[in-house]
Amino acid sequence: MTEEIVKAALGKVTYPGFSKDIVTFGFVKKVNISGTSITVDVEVTSSAPEVAQQIIDEATTELKMVGASEVVININAPKMPREDSSKGKNIAPQVKNFVMVSSGKGGVGKSTTSVNLAIALAQQGLKVGLLDADIYGPNIPRMMGLEGVKPQIEGNKVLPLKAYGVEMMSMGSLMEDGQSLIWRGAMIMKAIEQFLRDILWSELDCLVIDMPPGTGDAQLTLAQSVPVTAGITVTTPQMVSLDDSRRSLDMFQKLNIPIAGIVENMSGFIAPDTGVEYDIFGKGTTQPMADEFKTKIIAEIPIEPSIRTGGDEGKPITFAAPDSESAKRFTQAAASLWASIEKINEDGGVTNEGVQPTTPPGVSACSTGGAPAKEPTHKNHQGCGCD
């Protein structure tokens, strides 16, 4: 009996519910052959006991057919989603914590921050996902070095891509290159829901979500679909950005999302030749806003040319240059974020019950089902979007 024979036999065992086999999926982790006794370690992504049983039965049958006398199949399945403290609607229950990264406007470094925080959290030993929910400008694939990589689609589910120890999904990975879509309200809601429900995220400690800039349908839909554990706002020190950031912090409050902190990006400049830090836009402008919203600045990230090149080349600074000043600050910010998340959970977690769509009396709910009706706490929301 050889490993080839065993793998060929296991290649006939399809993963329950999918058309591909457990070898192709990469679920077969170890094969031990001793004469005609075979032990196989299989790691699956489903915690359903019937999935494990079906794999054990089929694998045993296939291996006996090629001459095995004794077969032991060890299935390593993720634990059933832990009862955690958060309450309310959650359409991605295998994810324990959700972090919404927002900014008042584009170009302030929201995606850069999301990428580097996600990698820094993973480096701290957590299971992390990164969802690029910026459907208007999905540039996380490029920043993660995954541009042009297409995910595996299984039935109506999609496997996330993986880079730097982080699971990732983006509209950019699902669309053809250069394709653009015009997003209407109902489509945005559907896209956000599908990102949470139809991506085969592992059991994650934390999903970092890079939102479109501003406060709109995407933010509201996310908050209604999952209990968002914490929000982070990215700003630059200039006043215009700060005014917008205030709106973004105000949105967190309206959506009952605890604020884990503010990242002040492009805060000073570190000269690549001398390492000297210069104050360009004026530091310290963010602090009063942090005080106003009873939160803190969790990082001041300088303008560092290697942050931009790292983004363009798909080699994020936290991974590619962990000793750089910016990488250290992202790492500290990630530690601060995680400490906030643990504290929020210890204090009873979050709930999104208060932001669920309400149907006014006498008005029927949207025929599409699940599309939110008018949201009373969100002034600019345009009705249910069932147009």
Q: Which residues here bind Mg ion, judged by CB under 5 A?
A: 111
Binding of ligand ADP at residue 227 (CB under 6 A)? no
Shortest distance, CB of residue 360 to ligand ADP, whole angstroms? 36
Which of 44, 108, 289, 290 touches ligand ADP (CB under 6 A)?
A: 108
Shortest distance, CB of residue 286 to ligand ADP, whole angstroms? 14
Considering CB distances under 5 to 8 angstroms, the limit depending on partner class, which of ligand ADP, Mg ion, none binds residue 132? Answer: none
Binding of ligand ADP at residue 133 (CB under 6 A)? no
Binding of ligand ADP at residue 139 (CB under 6 A)? yes
Closer of 332 and 359 to ligand ADP (Cβ): 332
Which of 86, 94, 97, 111 touches ligand ADP (CB under 6 A)?
A: 111
Which of 116, 170, 233, 265 touches ligand ADP (CB under 6 A)?
A: 265
Binding of ligand ADP at residue 103 (CB under 6 A)? yes
Which of 10, 25, 75, 110 touches ligand ADP (CB under 6 A)?
A: 110
Residue whose pair of structure tokens reads 């996600």 in the numeric block: 118
Mark residues 47-86: x for contact with ligand ADP by CB under 6 A, - for none.
Answer: ----------------------------------------
Considering CB distances under 5 to 8 angstroms, the limit depending on partner class, which of Mg ion, ligand ADP, none binds residue 334? Answer: none
Please write down the HEC assignment for all residues of the chain.
Answer: CCHHHHHHHHCCCECCCCCCECCCCCCEEEEEEECCEEEEEEECCCCCHHHHHHHHHHHHHHHHHCCCCEEEEEEECCCCCCCCCCECCCCCCCECCEEEEECCCCCCCHHHHHHHHHHHHHHCCCCEEEEECCCCCCCHHHHCCCCCCCCCEECCEECCEEECCEEEEEHHHHCCCCCCCCCCHHHHHHHHHHHHHCECCCCECEEEEECCCCCCHHHHHHHHHCCCCEEEEEECCCHHHHHHHHHHHHHHHHCCCCEEEEEEEEEEEECCCCCCEECCCCCCCCHHHHHHCCCCEEEEEEECHHHHHHHHCCCCHHHHCCCCHHHHHHHHHHHHHHHHHHHHHHCCCCECHHHCCCCCCCCCCCCCCCCCCCCCCCCCCCCCCCC
Closer of 78 and 314 to ligand ADP (Cβ): 314
Shortest distance, CB of residue 335 to Mg ion, whole angstroms? 23
Which of 78, 93, 106, 145 touches ligand ADP (CB under 6 A)?
A: 106
Considering CB distances under 5 to 8 angstroms, the limit depending on partner class, which of Mg ion, ligand ADP, none binds residue 78? Answer: none
Shortest distance, CB of residue 350 to ligand ADP, whole angstroms? 25
Mark residues 284-323: x for contact with ligand ADP by CB under 6 A, - for none.
Answer: -----------------x-xx--xx--x------------
Cβ pair 260, 341 in contact under 8 A = yes
- Residue 344's nearest CA partner among 106, 100, 167, 86 is 86
Closer of 127 and 142 to ligand ADP (Cβ): 142
Residues forming the site for ligand ADP (CB under 6 A)? 103, 106-112, 139, 265-266, 301, 303-304, 307-308, 311
